[in-house]
Structure 1
């Protein structure tokens, strides 16, 4: 499920900004700008209802501008576009934030999803039934 989510993030970024390269977890040595970098910030597992497992994942989508002297403005524009247009089908995004530090945009959000646990088939054991009934 985590890989499906990352693929959905990459596809949405490519849809919104087709001219920008998208990298995952690490920037290559000679990466080209402009670029997005998708990083998983944190992951937590919890119990869901009905034998399900709940997961909470936090992501940081960093944007590296290629505009010299206008990087802050470029980051601001991309951040606003992400806040308005970044939705993933099948996922509810919470806590979307956009902040620029040292000419790098950090767009962060969380998503929560549940997965049904695999339960081994339990078979009932054969029990003997006492039928010793006293008759009056």
Structure 2
């Protein structure tokens, strides 16, 4: 789903400048910012990852960078496609370096949809 983005400005020739992150991408029409989560549609910037999840899972806390925080508990992780980083050893590079237009996503468009996903099974 595309949703008009916040934090951007119009430029000449229907280009836009995204101001969401420090990269401040100048994006020509019909192109993406570095993150691949925002796209210029005819001089207006849209989030194309809005409400489109690539993963929504309860996990053991030990699986996260919070390894020593509350051992034995569970944490809920949720992600979308795209990222404004390019980490050399990214464990999720297939998701972070993809656009929501290029991979399968699951629509979570409302709070009730999210609550349904949030029901955690016992550890």
More helix by share: 1
Scaled by the length of structure 2, the TM-score of the pair is 0.24
More strand by share: 1
Q: Larger Cα Rg: Structure 1 or Structure 2?
A: 1
